[in-house]
Each structure stands twice: as C-alpha cells, then as structure tokens.
Homo-oligomer: A and B are copies of this chain.
Amino acid sequence: MTVELICVGTELLLGNIVNTNAAYLAEKCALLGLSMYYQSVVGDNPERLQELCETANKRSDLVILCGGLGPTQDDLTKETAARVMGRSLILDERAKEEIRVFFERIHREVTDNNWKQAMVPEGSIVLYNANGTAPGIIIEGEGTTMILLPGPPNELVPMFEEQVYPYLSKRKPEVICSKMLKICGVGESMAETRILDLIEKQTNPTIAPYAMTGEVHLRITAKADSPEQAFALIAPVEAELYRRFGDGIFTEEESETLEGAIAKLLKERKLTVSTAESCTGGLLSGRLVNVPGISEQFQEGYITYSNEAKEKLLGVSHSTLETFGAVSPETAREMAEGCCRAANTDLGVGITGIAGPDGGTAQKPVGLVYIGCCCKGTTYVEQFQFRGNRSKVRESAVANALTLLRKVILQEIRTV
C-alpha cells in the first residue's frame, strides 16, 4: 500500500519552521509497512492544494494531509479535501461540544471563526482532538483514503499514535521489519564499495546506507507475512555484513551512539579514560559526557590549546614541541601519555591538529590531525588529513578519536 504526505503551511514554504511532522509521519508509515514515494509542501492556497490532492489521489492509496485545519480563513485543507472526494460538509455535534468545552476550560469566549472546525465531510471518520480545537478526519473513498491531521506536533503526534496508527495497523497488508548496523572507521563510499554486490542484487531484504561524520549506518529491511519470516530473511544478510565489516560494527541498537558503545566497553572491562585536546577544544570530552553515567569511566580531561598548557598540564616535553611542533605524532603521543599519567587512567587520548582556516603550511596543511591513544604502556598514533571547514575538521577528528579509542579497547589496532 502506498502513502503520500502533503504538508500545508506557508510557514514551511518561508522556512520559518522545520518540517518535523514529515519525518515523524514518514517514520511511522515505514514502520507500518507503507511505501512512501512522495512528500509535498504547499502553502495555504486552495488551487494549488486541490491540484496536488488530485495528483496524490491518482498515484497513492493513502494520502495524509497535515496542517490547515484551524479556525482561520486561510485554513482550507478540510474544505479542499472534501471537494476532491466529492463530499459536502456537515456539522458534527460532538466536535461542536468539544470546542465549547475547550474554550470554557481556558476561560475564553469562543470566537465565531472557531465553529467552522466542527464541520466535517459527510461519511467521514472524525478523530477528536484532546489537545486542540480542530478534529482530524479520515475520508475513505473508493480508490483512495485521505487522512487529515492538525499541524501542531503536540496535537498531531498524540492523534496519530492513539487513533491513526491503530486504524492503519488494521489495514496494513504486510509486516516490515528492519535491523540496524552502525559502523565506524569507514567512509561512505568505502562502505558502499564493500557492499555494492549486495546492493545490486537486493530486492527483499534491502540495505540502505546512511552516512554521518565518521560513521555509516546500514539498515536492513525485509517485508514478509510475519515478523519471524522477516527476521529470517534479514539474518543471512546481517551475517554477511558482519563478515565484511567485523569489529567495525559498533552497535545494532537504533538509539545507541558511538560514545555510548564505547562507554559500555569501558564499563564492562572496568577501564578509565582521560582526554587531552588541542584543536578539538573539549568536543571529544563533550561526546563522552553525552553518555549518562559515564562518571566511573571518565572523570577528567584537559583542554591544552597552548604549548604552555601542554607542558604544564600534560608534561609534554619542551624539546618535543620545539623539535617536532605542536602538531606532530610525537606531541600527540606525549599528550595521550600525559593525560593518562596526570589523571591516572587506563587509557588516554590526545588530539592535536590544524583546524583552520589559518595556520596551515605546505608541510602541515589545514586538516592535518594527529590522534594518540595510549593503553597500559602502549601508545598508538594515527595521522589524518581531513577536508572541510574548521568545524568539519574538528568533528572528523573527534569521530576518529572515538574510533581509535574503541579499537584500542578492543586491542585490535595496528600501529601506523
């Protein structure tokens, strides 16, 4: 069953608000096994909205409209949808009563324009709104069903969860299940190259790659008659991805982060870590402290932006800084070892680099970053050349520092 989404609102076309409803509804529809091929945004213009509704009704089984159900003159979604579906509007007594009660509760008089929200297309299912005045509407046509939802997320979300999801669950044709594998330490195109053969021949299940800085997330999705059958289809693909990416896969959990996965490893192995940051200036420690309850594993970190701070706080030797410079494998090594010693931790991570936009040279260009990680007497140092602006370089450095830290914890690193 195909579904299409139409969001109505001039504020979306002006960029005044971000369309979070679209992401919310798209995710829910995907979970329901509905195939969404189109999302559209139009303003509060009846001609353009009507044309779009007609197009949508032709090409999709289900059309979800959100926004434009309110009391004002330019709220025209219901009127337009009713016209497209050939229904007239009739008064819904319960909707009228709910509007009266709503205003009573907030101690305001009902302004006349509010009553139009009690008019509903004849023969439709009315979705009463506990969090606002405009009810939602389901119009079941012969070919298409249209579902109209209020625009404010605090009304739309509960209405969808409590009324629309159960309605659609009963109608959905098949089960869709998916499994997430999150990988660190490979770029997007590298990840894709390694699975190109799988993607080329895929039908069911499918693999969808999604790239973030320093991470690639692969979602395996299967359709079947039951969850058991769907997961049986997913299992061999998952096994194959594990074979190809191995320890690069840091989690299978949708909501797990790289720092969260590392915190778990540290906790399991009863290890502590400290950080020494130059160009990233605290972003690495900031990522670690994202994890609630990290305090047993991470207790202190050092921002050593100047050479003096590197010497004073970390004990980086003056001659190392003089001979090799602040951005060098030697300094990264001494920073990692220095914070380990100063904080008395099992592991230490040091980052030094040139984030730009200035400060680069031919020998040491902007984007050059050294990351050191020491663990119980052994120190590993990696060199990176990142691209992008200052913020991208720093973000990449942090992602790769986390990846290196994880590798060292797993004891599977090769020295560079």
Interface residues of A (CB under 8 A from B): 10-20, 22-30, 36-43, 45, 48, 52, 70-74, 102, 105-108, 111-114, 130-133, 152, 154, 158, 187-190, 192-193, 196, 199-200, 208-211, 219, 275, 277, 279-286, 288-290, 292-295, 298-306, 308-309, 312-313, 343, 355-358, 365, 367, 383-392, 394
Contact of A309 among B15, B26, B112, B300 (CB under 8 A): B300
User: For A154, what are the chain B residues with a Cβ–Cβ distance below 8 Å?
Assistant: 388-389, 391-392
| Chain B hits for A17, CB < 8 A | 23, 210
A38 adjacent to B40 (CB under 8 Å): yes
Q: Which residue of B lies closest to A299 (CB)?
A: B306
Which chain B residue lies CB-closest to A40?
B40
Indicate which residue in B14, B107, B113, B308 contacts A299 across the interface (CB closer than 8 Å): B308
Decide: A72 near B192, CB < 8 A? Known: A26-B15, A41-B22. yes
A-B contacts, 27 of them at CB < 8 A, read A12-B26, A13-B37, A13-B38, A14-B27, A14-B30, A14-B208, A16-B27, A17-B23, A18-B19, A18-B20, A37-B42, A38-B52, A40-B41, A71-B188, A107-B383, A108-B187, A113-B193, A130-B388, A131-B388, A152-B211, A280-B286, A283-B289, A290-B391, A299-B309, A300-B303, A300-B306, A309-B343
Residues of the B chain whose Cβ atoms lie less than 8 Å from the Cβ of A11:
208, 210
Known interface pairs A18-B19, A38-B41; A384-B106 also in contact (CB < 8 Å): yes
Interface pair B131/A358, CB less than 8 Å apart: no
Find A38's partner among B42, B277, B394 (CB 8 Å cutoff): B42
> Which 4 A-B residue pairings sit nearest by Cβ, starting from the closest?
A281-B289, A282-B282, A15-B27, A15-B26
Q: In the complex, A39→B294 CA distance in Å? A: 43
Flag if A298 contacts B305 (CB, 8 Å): yes
Contact for A29 among B15, B131, B294, CB less than 8 A:
B15
A39 touches B40 (CB 8 A): yes
Q: Is the CB of B19 within 8 A of A15?
A: no
Contact A289 B280 (CB under 8 A): yes
Closest to A131 in B: B388
Contact residues in B for A158 (Cβ distance below 8 Å): 389
List the B side residues contacting A301 at CB < 8 Å: 281-282, 302-303, 305
What separation, in Å, do the CA atoms of A319 and B37 have in the docked complex? 63
A73 touches B28 (CB 8 A): no
Instruction: List the B side residues contacting A18 at CB < 8 Å.
Output: 18-20, 22-23
In the complex, are the beta carbons of B38 and A48 less than 8 A apart? Answer: yes
* Bound Cα distance A71, B52 (Å): 33
Residue among A43, A72, A107, A279 with most chain B CB within 10 A: A72
Measured in the bound complex, the distance between the Cα atoms of B295 and A199 in whole Å is 47
